[in-house]
Structure 1
Amino acid sequence: MHLFTLAVSAAVLAIPAWGWGKEGHRMTAAIAQIHLLPSTREAICSILPEDSDCNLANVATWPDDVRKTEVWKWSANLHFVNGIDDSPPKECSFGTKGWEKPSDRHVLNAIVNMTRRVESSYGDERDFSLRFLTHFLGDIHQPLHLTGRYFGGNLVPVLFGEKKTGLHTVWDDDLVMQRIESVESSAYAHPLQTSGTALGRNHQIEAALNGSNYDPLVRWIVLEGIDGRWATEIKQWTTCPQITTTNQVDQQILGLDAPPFNDPTNLPVCPYHWAKASHRLLCDFIWRADLEGVEDSKKAVYKIRLDTPEYAGQVGERKMIEEQIAKGGLRLALALNTILGSEEDKRAFGLLFGVKL
């Protein structure tokens, strides 16, 4: 198989770390799907297999589904990145001291590589690259994929509801499901009206959904989040502060440290810039000072609850899950529209269909 030039034997996963759970990844992809240009949607239809229904949400979890198979095990390390000496909340060192080995095989490089392949490759390679890109842009918005401390929080025992679980799983699944359940009885529980006057936005949303349990939350994220509380922040979210070659030379002359990872100057993605902001959440909120890990999961003591007003309640109040998923989806849409959309569509609709930047 000649899909990629990466060495199959180089990556071995030490412990499961799955990024968002299935719902988180599919919601991220659904947000992207809603904001694709018409020409981008056509391009995606030509790239993905017929059984995908031309919908990114239907392939968003594929990289997790195959990562333990013999053919795809080389991709396991590409779902996360670990900074040397990173130890939230006491030490927030996102790459400032380098990256844990293999230092070049991580999600930041993977996003750059997959973006290039979606832009320029063909056939199966382009198909699989699009699936990986969709998934990896979800991964960097789940903050526990951005630290190696206790294997990304997998070995931090906590209680959530009736479950004995780990910090990583709480953010993968439990908090996401809690947010989904919070809107199950709301006005967003049913499909939006798509006929009548001024309902183009509703049609965009419903065309991307497929009757899943997370559909109500996606509706909320778009109509009350992207179109409402975060509307003035979207341009900042989707703008990359890319470093030019001239900037890098100036930094060297001034004796300034180079960034831990150089985001590309010729692609519409800046994974380090985006992931750095996600990583900051670990020290600011997610990894409380009383959350300690264990070296042996068999010796775990479960005594700290996270389904409390002070923790889960604040996640809901601040819409932390919703915001991270919105960011991931919009950034994916912008990247795909930039490299796959027609110039005519870009002039007519901008780089995010339905959103003014």
Structure 2
Amino acid sequence: MKYILSSSIVLAATAAAWNTDVHNQIGFMAETFLTPHTTSILGHILEPQYNGSIGRAAAWADGYAHTDEGRFSYQWHWIDSHDHPPQDCHVNYVQDCASGGCVVSAIANQTGILRECVEDVKARARTGSFMAGGDANLTCSYALKWVSHFLGDIAQPLHASGKAAGGNFVKVTFGNISTELHAVWDGYIPYFAASIPPHHRFSNTTLAPFFAGLVSRIRKDQFYEAPYMWTACTDPATPVECALRWASESNRLDCEYVYGRLDEKADLKEDGYAVGAVPIVELQIAKAALRLGMWLNNLVGGDVQGEGEAWSGTIKGQVVLGEL
């Protein structure tokens, strides 16, 4: 007799894109692409418990979204495309981004806040006015943590898909475990790619070997898409345009593979689906990390086109937690 286990035993189904440890690893990967100046500036923005590490902070947004205080940010983690994969895939910002916000608007809003925070840190550095014992402002720290998280979220294909609540209502089997398609892409496939059991976790304090290998491959241009293609839009002065472009890339994968190659009756670990998904997951994680590193470098570098201009536009779901 073949026994099917419930995913609740191994992986809790959530609305998070990538499991929390994968988010941490994307942050640690991104750190390898930061300039020393960027690293220094960000260290003054994060709360002291993160020790200046966006890797340690990159998973915070998932937990916060499930608190009473942070419930307003829950829907910022995705954009619900009104399409029909695998036959038709497209993202329309005006139609698909809810009035309370989505991952595209959240990236734009929090990038705008973070830009002001970066300039504030630079100004205080020039005058030597940092406070002893830490000077983190929660609005600024939250903005950095959200940006670090959402650039990971938007690379997960099912966070750019409205079908079945991003695949959460698509029941599948993975290695004799009954789960949801969303969970397969969040964690099961990354763990499969790294050859670790699904109940194990990657480090939340340092870069794990599997992800260090992805960094090495980025630097050696060893992906089936060249890194220069991933970073064609990494200008924080055009955050909606860039985030929408990233979401559209992820959304296309829902037609090309996520649903296009899916057999809901098969064991996805055994029928070749997982093997075929590994290069996609590796690519999307690599994209998220390199884009995050470049995004933050461009914010801190001071040479972003349009820097200093008033923040404007029809960006949805903006919330400011306090005064800068």
Aligning the two structures, in what range does the TM-score lie when normalised by the shorter sequence?
Answer: 0.7 to 0.9
Counterpart check, 1:27 vs 2:17: no
Deviations 1:187-224, CA, capped at 9 Å, x for gaps = xxxxxxxxxxxxxxxxxxxxxx8765x61111210113
Asked if 1:281 is matched to 2:241, the reply is no
Which structure 1 residue ranges, 4+ long, deviate > 3 Å from structure 2? 209-212, 264-269, 288-292
Separation of aligned partners in 1, 2:101 and 2:93: 17
Q: In 1, distance between residues paired with 2:272 and 2:63?
A: 34
Distance 2:70 2:141 in 1: 14
For each residue in 1:62-100, what CA deviation from the matched residue of structure 2 results, as whole angstroms up to 9, or x when unmatched?
11011121111000110010122x121022132288216
SS in 1 for 2:195: helix
Asked if the contact 1:156/1:291 (under 8 Å) is kept, the reply is no
Structure 2 unaligned segments of length 5 or more: list them: 1-12, 121-136, 197-202, 304-324
Indicate which of 161, 170, 174 corresponds to 2:175: 161
Amino acid at match of 1:328: A
Which position in structure 2 is the counterpart of 1:259? none
Residues 78 and 154 in structure 2, CA contact (< 8 A), matched pair in contact too: yes
Task: Work out whether residues 78 and 102 of structure 2, in 8 Å CA contact, stay in contact via their aligned partners in 1.
Answer: yes
Q: Which residue of 1 aligns with 2:321?
A: none
SS in 2 for 1:119: helix
What is the alpha-carbon distance in structure 2 between the residues aligned to residue 100 and residue 339 of structure 1? Answer: 25
Structure 1 residue 339: Cα displacement: 1.1
What do you get for the CA RMSD once the two structures are aligned? 2.8
1:42 is displaced (CA, Å) by 0.3
The Cα shift of 1:101 comes to: 3.7
1:38 aligns with 2:31: no
- Given that 1:82 and 1:95 are in contact with CA atoms closer than 8 Å, whether structure 2 keeps it comes out as no
Shift of 1:31: 1.4
SS in structure 2 of the partner of residue 159 of structure 1: strand
Compared CA separation, residues 62 and 313, structure 1 to 2 (3 A):
same
AA aligned opposite 1:275: A
Q: Is the 8 A contact 1:25 1:138 kept in 2?
A: yes
Q: For the Cα contact (< 8 Å) 1:159–1:165, is it kept in 2?
A: yes
Flag the 1:267–1:74 CA change in 2: closer, same or farther, 3 A.
Answer: closer
1-side partners of 2:194 and 2:78: how far apart? Answer: 25
Q: 1:99 to 1:62 in 2, by over 3 A?
A: same
> Is the aligned partner of 1:304 residue 2:266?
yes
**Alignment partner of 1:64 out of 62, 65, 78:** 62
Task: After TM superposition, give the deviation of residue 265 of structure 1 in Å.
Answer: 5.0
Verify the 8 A CA contact 1:268 1:334 in the aligned structure 2: no
Describe the SS at the equivalent of 1:47.
coil
User: 1:106–1:291: structure 2 CA closer, same or farther, 3 Å change rule?
Assistant: farther
Aligned to 1:340: 300
Structure 1 unaligned residues grouped into runs of 5+: 1-14, 183-208, 243-263, 293-302, 344-357
Q: Which amino acid is 2:190 matched to?
A: V
- CA 231–51 in structure 1, closer or farther in 2 if over 3 Å, else same: farther
Calculate percent identity across the aligned residue pairs: 30
Q: Larger C-alpha radius of gyration, 1 or 2? A: 1
Determine the C-alpha separation between the residues in 2 that align with 1:136 and 1:58: 15
- Equivalent runs, 1:58-207 vs 2, <5 Å: 58-84=56-82, 86-95=83-92, 98-99=95-96, 101-102=98-99, 105-121=101-117, 123-181=137-195
Question: With structure 2 as the length reference, what TM-score do the two structures score?
Answer: 0.76
Deviating more after overlay: 45-54 vs 86-95: 86-95
Q: Give the count of matched residue pairs.
A: 269
Alignment partners' CA distance in 1, 2:98 and 2:293 = 31
Contact 1:226 1:326 in 2 (8 A): no
Q: Say whether the 8 Å CA contact 1:78–1:106 is kept in structure 2.
A: yes
Q: 1:236 aligns with which of 229, 233, 249?
A: 229
Counterpart residue type for residue 31 of structure 2: Q
User: What is aligned with 2:275?
Assistant: 313
